[in-house]
Structure 1
């Protein structure tokens, strides 16, 4: 996998993945994550995750709605988590290959470009 800037990632669409391709290596994933602020590896390097604290429950719902629109447009769907009414998290991985693909990093970059109403410190 080529390591891309966030601008390069947001400029392309996810490619359909029905399996049969090797997941991204941990080294490749770690290198790509240096370009994506706040995302981290989880599940032994097979997923990426990012967490936010939003202003309130409805801010979380609005963010998830925007994420859902982008995800559906690209045909690549994340796991969305809402805990404690304003703690939101997103996990990405390519289910068909049981690990990470370039699609996960593309969608992460697109999610990062979305507006979010974060809680003020």
Structure 2
């Protein structure tokens, strides 16, 4: 996978993935994450995650609704987590390959462009 800037990633659209391709290597993932502030690897390098503390529960839900619109538009759906009413997290991976693909980094870059009401 070619390492891209956040701006390059946001210009792309996620491609359908039905499997049959290799997930990103740990080195590729780590290098790509250098261009995505706050995202980090989880699950032995098979997923990326980012955490935020928002103003209140409704701010978290508003943010998740915006994420849902972007995700649905690209056909790539993240796991959304809210805990303690203000702690929100998003986890991305490509289910069909059991690891990370370019789609995950594209969606992460697009999520980073969304407004979020922080504390």
Q: TM-score, normalised by structure 1?
A: 0.98
Q: Which residue of 2 aligns with 1:77?
A: 77
Q: CA RMSD in A?
A: 0.2
Q: Which residue of 2 aligns with 1:12?
A: 12
Q: Which residue of 1 aligns with 2:116?
A: 116
Tell me by how many angstroms 1:90 deviates.
Answer: 0.1
How many residue pairs align between the two structures?
119
Q: TM-score, normalised by structure 2?
A: 1.00
Give the 3-state SS of the residue equivalent to 2:103 in structure 1: helix
The gaps in structure 1 that reach 5 residues or longer are none
1:46-65 matched pairs, under 5 angstroms:
46-65=46-65
Tell me by how many angstroms 1:60 deviates.
Answer: 0.1
Tell me by how many angstroms 1:108 deviates.
Answer: 0.1
1:96 and 2:96 equivalent?
Answer: yes
